[in-house]
Every structure is written in C-alpha cells, then in structure tokens.
A and B are shown apart, each in its own frame.
Chain A
Amino acid sequence: MFQIDCPWCGPRDQQEFSYAGEGGIQRPQDPSATTDAEWADYLFMRRNPRGMHHEQWRHVHGCGQFFQVTRHTVTYRIESIRRMGESAAAGGESS
C-alpha cells in the first residue's frame, strides 16, 4: 500500500484510487491510414517496464478526477504527479 498525492485533494491512501491504465498514449491522427498492425498496437499493446512507468490514476473515492502519475514499478516510488493536460513528462512515449 502507498499514498498518492491527488492534485486536488492532497495525499490520500491508495485504496481511494483506481489504476486507469498506461498514460500518454496518442491516438493515431488518421486512423484510416494506419495499418492493422499499427492500429492493434495502439489498441492493445502496452509497455510493462521494470522501472519508470507513465500511468493514469483516478481518485475514484474522492474528487473523481483522472491524473497522470510517473511511478517506479520496482520501488513504487512516485516521481511526479500532474493533472491531465499538464505537460507530459519526457520519455512518455508509448507502444
């Protein structure tokens, strides 16, 4: 268990939050021009790094907001937390 510093509510226990998938995934600009492989990659393929990971979390039992978290998957250390739309961290490329 760990605490997450909600950008609206401040530090709260992890049980108030739900994980909402990998963050920073860009929808292809022109879906009709993508190949099946590219589309499948966008839809289904996710990174599973041993190290820093860009994630989305939601304060579901709180303010209900989604936000971005950069977390180390081994140490669980949270490096940064940003509201949606705030500058994405460098190295946030997906797929």
Chain B
Amino acid sequence: MSEPVMESPLIGRPHSIQGQPADGQSAAQSGVSLGERPFLGHFSLRGKADDEALMAACSRVFGIALPKTPNTWVEGEGVVIGWMGPTEWLVLVAAETRHEWLISLREALADQHAGVVDLSGGQTLITLAGEHARDVLAKGSTLDLHPREAQAGFCTRSTLAKSAIFLRVVEAGERFEIVVRRSFADYLWQWLVDASEEYGCEILPADATLALSASADNDFDEAVNAS
C-alpha cells in the first residue's frame, strides 16, 4: 500500500501551484495578488473560555493566551489562533509542524474538558492581497472591510460568494486570508480569479508556510530604530 499523500483541492488549477503573472502587466501593476497556502495544519479547538485550567493549559502549549475578544486573532511562535465563537477557536500552523502541534496539543489538553479536531485535510487557505483586494471581496461579501472597521487582528466566519468562509485580516485593507472548505475551494478560487481579473490579478506560487507578521514587525522595528 502506498503512503497517503495530501492533495490540494486546487489540484485542477495548475496556475494555483506554479503562479501566473497578471495578464499583460508587470507584477508591480497588478491590483490583486492571489495565492494558495496548501497543507497547513488547521485545528478546531473547542472548550469554555471561562475554564481557567483549560485557558492556562492552552497558554502553556501555545505560549500565548487564546483570544477571548470576539472576532480577533492572535499570533504565537509558529501559530495563529482565531476566535470562531465563544467556545471555539481555529488554530493554524505550518505544514511541516502539523503533526508535532497536534501531538503536543492533545497531550496538553488530555485532562481538560476540551476537544481538538484536525481539519487540515478538509479545508485550505487562500491569500488575497493588493490595493484592490477589498474591492474583490466587496463583490461577494457583506462585511465592511474598510480599515476603520476591520483592522489587522480582525477575523470572522462569514460568507463570500455564497461559500462559508473564515476570513482573517492580516493587514488592514490590504492583506486577507480566506479559509474555505475543501469542496468549495475550487469554486471559490475560480470566483476570486474572475472577480480579480479587472484589477490585474497576479497568482503567487503555492506556499505551504504560515503567514506570520512577526518578521514584518521586526523589519518595521529595525526601520524605526535606524531612522
């Protein structure tokens, strides 16, 4: 028996793997850049936010407290945790650390009243960035994603072009991440490519790493210190 192999739900769209420059424009002119981050670890974590033992155990394993403020995400060392509901969080980790995270999470929470479910094979993550990223989302979403409403750190479940999604604002008004279920991924990808076309859409090669802002923050700090 051969080893099971993970396959992206966008396998039928080769441009999502190799990338593709914007039509007739240089990459610098594209208003939107789309990309898939396949094979990430996606875990659903369920538990009660007022369970102090559970919150302490989670803080120990993640090195950061679970977000209790509705519609916010936090970032730890190699992990992003998004608030999904008062008793539910979405944990995102890089592909190659998926198994280690799952094992350490299950060990840390073994004695807690909590649930950890590995959803990695069931959903994928699409990144959307650029000056017109918000215009693309506005075509299929009822959310107000203007930076005055949805700042970096905002996340929510919602619908986009009738698909159920989890949306994370990485950079206010500029960089978004969309987590979508596997069976909707190909449809939503095609919808995004179509909706982005008028702005010049660059497709980035698939990248199985987790987008963390820590390095960007460091660059920013260095730039501030240097000036």
Interface residues on A, range: 10 to 19
Interface residues of B in 127-156 (CB under 8 A from A): 142-143, 156
Residues of B in contact, count (CB < 8 Å): 13
Pick the interface stretch among B56-64, B80-88, B101-109.
B80-88
A15 CB–B CB distance under 8 Å? yes
What residues on B are CB-neighbors of A64 within 8 Å?
84-85, 88, 157
Complex alpha-carbon distance, A61 and B86, angstroms? 14
* Interface of chain B, main secondary structure: strand
Interface residues of B in 70-110 (CB under 8 A from A): 70-71, 84-86, 88
B86 touches A65 (CB 8 A): yes
What residues on B are CB-neighbors of A62 within 8 Å?
85, 156-158
Q: Do A63 and B84 contact each other (CB < 8 Å), given the known contacts A9-B71, A15-B142, A16-B142?
A: yes
Complex alpha-carbon distance, A48 and B86, angstroms? 32
A12 touches B70 (CB 8 A): no
Known contacts A9-B156, A64-B84; 7 additional CB pairs below 8 A are: A8-B85, A15-B159, A61-B164, A62-B85, A62-B158, A63-B85, A64-B85
Q: Which 5 A-B pairs have CB atoms at the shortest separation, nearest pair first? A: A13-B142, A63-B85, A64-B85, A8-B70, A61-B159
